[in-house]
Structure 1
Amino acid sequence: MMKKLNFVKFAYFAFSAHKYSDYLASYKTECMTITNFTRPSTIQEGDTIGILSTARAIEQEELLKAKKHLNEKGFNVIYGATIGAKHHQFAGDDELRLNDLQTMIDTPEVDAIICARGGYGTARLLEQINWSNFKENPKWIMGYSDITALHNALSQMGIMSLHGIMPINIKDDESKQALDKALAIMCGQSSFSLDLQSHKLNHSAPARGILTGGNLSMLYSLRGTKYDFESRQRILFIEDLDEYLYHIDRMMVNFKLSHILTNISALVVGGMTDMNDNTIAYGYTAEEIIESHMEEDIPLFFNAPFGHFPGNHPLVCGAQGNISNENNQWRLNYKL
């Protein structure tokens, strides 16, 4: 009887191990790293750019300078139904914001989409978006901050998107120049570069990888979901605004424990703007917190020119990135 029980146990565990190995093989196939991204269609003068809000409410008056600048560059501009709409803090309820985005995605006459602002609310729409038409005819979608949710979703499909300045930010020459740089990419520019500033906490070293990232809090909030980001063979870029310092530490601990910080090719940190502290000081800056969780052999650069400020340089999620030292200047170059 004992021999029979032992045989049954052996057979059960052998079967379970076989099924688990099948599961792992299937999982690895489903989660294979995407290395070749599709570039959305190029736009040109006379094309139409749609502006909408997937997050916080915004009025047309806040978009006038951006619309005027886009018109001067030769583009038609249309507003979505979310512009001027309000449901509590949102630009309309979830249904309105979803329908507005879906309409812009599915309308062939809309050649590119720029999100008017961030705030919060984009992730609430992810599960209901129908990307079928978009996959057949991808168009540029641009934004940052809360729009990181859309960048993650598009990266999962292997489609490039633009992490760049939004219409609410267009107020002066510096912000207009940042918009012009993003428009140049939408119009066909195939390469771009950012100078990486010297910083006492930098781990300056060359690196190669696909660009991925965005707002740190949004990346953290999507961890463990199907909209999580890939870290292998990636140059991860992050920025954030108005966060408590201990929150920065919490998020970086998550990245460390899940091996993101050792999987990535490099980490590039943009603006960590208007950080908050408690009555009893946390004791470290955001940059010091981030550096404390990084291994010495992973390239790390701070104060890169992107984030919540007028000179928010564009980054293309899905582009091939290369960090190198050119004539004593560290630079992030990327190609589409």
Structure 2
Amino acid sequence: MIKPCALKEGDRVAIIAPAGPPDREKLIEGKRVLEKMGLEVSIGRYVFDGEGDLAALDQKRVADLHEAFCDPSIRGIFCANGGFGSARIAPMIDYAKIQRNPKIFWGYSDITYLLNAIQNFSNLVTFHGPMIASDLHDEQRTVETESSFFELFTKEDLNFDSSKSPLIALAHGTGEGQLVGGNLTLLTNGLGTPFQINTDGNILLIEEVAEPAFRIDAMLTQLKQAGLFDNLEGLVIGTLQVEPDQYPKIKKVLQDLFAEAPFPVVENFPIGHCKPNYGVPLGVQAKLTTSPPRLMIESGVT
């Protein structure tokens, strides 16, 4: 996998909206946070175009993505927010162009589809992390979420243990492999397409928001029946942000599916639709252990 170059103070980065339309005020607040990190920030020309539930027409959203990757002055690309629509543009992307111009690409939620598509066809490490309009505006932002961006300025490896959140092992063991994954709905949507995630010999990360237990059950069952757990090295369960009454039901779903798993399964990582929301690189080597529960991840930048 190709690692993008680390950021440094003074670097220029771009904000694009490959999915839904961002809230202008929240995006501007998030932009200021990036600027406080010492970055020069530009906004894609079509980010505020507005096209119903999409940020802009498919062709315009792809144009912003291509322009950001091909502009040699831009060192990193941050997605404004999720929503839906990323899958629509995945077949329209010039992945060879991205491979020739590797740089940081950062987002989550609906952007999961593009994180995996870019890995599959550009061989580029991507980043599952908090987004500018969704997570960096004044009401949502936390010190921990903001500090997560500093992994892009350093080559230090990442280490998640119970000091960040109480991790719970559902199945024990040790697994090593590339960290892959993202939002559970988007991973399920990708099955049977050219953009399907590759889990063979890898550690899978999943996270979700506002899905009831029966939907979590159905999606995990679909992944299992599609063979995605057959050669898995480990399962990292991020935040499953649901209504309180759904937690015990989801706990039973996870126990039923993974209590006897032949690979380590650890839940409650502060990754995904949560506050704070920690960013992680995808496509790099990782190690998951359960005694104690711990996830070690290689740096995503060089």
Shared fold by TM > 0.5? yes
Looking at structure 2, the residues matched to 88 and 99 of structure 1 have their Cα atoms a distance apart, in angstroms, of 18
Instruction: Provide the secondary structure at the position in 2 that maps to 1:254.
Output: helix
Unaligned segments of structure 1, at least 5 residues:
1-36
Unaligned segments of structure 2, at least 5 residues:
none
Shift of 1:299: 0.9
Looking at structure 2, the residues matched to 87 and 146 of structure 1 have their Cα atoms a distance apart, in angstroms, of 17
Looking at structure 1, the residues matched to 225 and 182 of structure 2 have their Cα atoms a distance apart, in angstroms, of 20
Looking at structure 2, the residues matched to 241 and 209 of structure 1 have their Cα atoms a distance apart, in angstroms, of 26
Relative to structure 1, is the Cα distance of residues 74 and 126 closer, same or farther in structure 2, using a 3 angstrom cutoff?
same
Question: Which residue of 237, 244, 247 corresponds with 1:269?
Answer: 237
In the other structure, the counterpart of 1:135 is 99
Contact 2:264 2:288 in 1 (8 A): no
Contact 1:211 1:235 in 2 (8 A): yes
Equivalent AA in structure 1 for residue 286 of structure 2: G
Equivalent AA in structure 2 for residue 68 of structure 1: R
Shift of 1:148: 0.4
Instruction: Provide the secondary structure at the position in 1 that maps to 2:142.
Output: helix
**RMSD (Å), alpha carbons:** 2.1
Shift of 1:172: 5.6
Contact 2:127 2:280 in 1 (8 A): yes
Equivalent AA in structure 1 for residue 152 of structure 2: M
In the other structure, the counterpart of 2:160 is 194
Shift of 1:276: 9.2
In the other structure, the counterpart of 1:62 is 26
Looking at structure 2, the residues matched to 276 and 83 of structure 1 have their Cα atoms a distance apart, in angstroms, of 35
The answer on 1:322 being equivalent to 2:290 is: no
Question: Which residue of 303, 313, 318 corresponds with 2:278?
Answer: 313
Shift of 1:110: 1.5
Structure with bigger gyration radius: 1
In the other structure, the counterpart of 2:144 is 177
Larger RCO (alpha carbons 8 Å, 6+ apart): 2
Render the CA deviation track for 1:86-111: whole Å, top value 9, x for unaligned: 11111012122111111112111111
Contact 2:174 2:263 in 1 (8 A): no
Question: Which residue of 293, 298, 301 corresponds with 1:335?
Answer: 298
Shift of 1:134: 1.9
Looking at structure 2, the residues matched to 109 and 283 of structure 1 have their Cα atoms a distance apart, in angstroms, of 46
In the other structure, the counterpart of 1:219 is 187
Stretch deviating more after TM superposition (173-182 or 123-132):
173-182
Looking at structure 1, the residues matched to 221 and 84 of structure 2 have their Cα atoms a distance apart, in angstroms, of 23
The answer on 1:38 being equivalent to 2:8 is: no
Shift of 1:256: 1.4
Shift of 1:244: 2.9
Q: How many residue pairs get matched?
A: 292
In the other structure, the counterpart of 1:235 is 203
Looking at structure 1, the residues matched to 244 and 195 of structure 2 have their Cα atoms a distance apart, in angstroms, of 28
Instruction: Provide the secondary structure at the position in 2 that maps to 1:202.
Output: strand
Looking at structure 2, the residues matched to 287 and 145 of structure 1 have their Cα atoms a distance apart, in angstroms, of 22
Shift of 1:158: 2.2
The answer on 1:94 being equivalent to 2:58 is: yes
Equivalent AA in structure 2 for residue 48 of structure 1: R
